[in-house]
Amino acid sequence: MRVKKPHSADGWQQARAEFRAARRPLALTGAGISVESGIPDFRGDHGLWRRFEPEQYATLEVFRREPHKAWEMYRALGEVLQGKQPNPAHRALARLEREGRLQAVITQNIDGLHQLAGSRRVVEVHGEYRHLQCLRCGRMRPLREEDYAPPAVPACHDCGAPLKPNVVLFGEWVRHMDEVGPLLESCDALLVIGTSAEVYPVADLPRQVIGNGGRVFEFNVEETTLTSLADYSFRGPCGRTLPRFVA
């Protein structure tokens, strides 16, 4: 049985010792790490998917067919992200990297809070919300305040096509898997923070580390499909559990 729950002080110590011994440690983060920064995860009661059905708003097909409709969701998302700051969990990961105890953060988040906290190697597999991209000619430019002004859809300066935020929609490929592959291959300790581990292909990554004999440390407020497979599962808000683990 691999699961060792850190119920006792000894459990915490043992988990820390195993993480310290790792030579190629990584972190994998999801929406949950930003919840304490005021950005709800999409599935929760206050999440975006309650207002915008993903199949109706967040697919590549919808964007191509009805960019105005997709931009209703992007504007709501922009409002949620605006002005948000990193929390102690983001800062704990930045600190680990600074101290040479973490190689990189692989994140499903698009909010840029890892970089704001000081993390340097951040692999954003679902894209990011700081730029707009043109699907026709490939041009990319920074997102500007006026892009939120309804009802117009921002258009590409070069070819006139509607621009979309540089985030991965349903129906698009995830990004940077060529960078993620080698990182995962050699990873011997993976911190999995605030993700339901249900969105593929990222959900496979912890299982890959386990398959290679690496350790998995999960931080989540609730049980997930990964919990029974993880070596350690820290239950509670990661803004509290992660800094305690790293201390």
Residue among 62, 224, 232, 245 that touches ligand NAD (CB under 6 A): 224
126 is catalytic: yes
Q: 156 vs 166, which CB is nearer to ligand NAD? A: 166
| CA end-to-end distance (rounded Å), the chain | 28
Which window, 20-28, 156-164, 204-212, 216-224, contacts ligand NAD (CB under 6 A)? 216-224
Q: Does 119 bind ligand NAD (CB under 6 A)?
A: no
Q: Does 15 bind ligand NAD (CB under 6 A)?
A: no
Residue among 109, 115, 119, 166 that touches ligand NAD (CB under 6 A): 109
- Residues 215 and 18 sit within 8 Å (Cβ to Cβ): yes
- Minimum separation from the CB atom of position 175 to ligand NAD (A): 11
Residues in contact with ligand NAD by CB under 6 A are 30-32, 34-36, 39, 41-43, 47, 108-111, 126, 194-196, 198-199, 219-222, 224, 237-238
Residues with catalytic function: 126
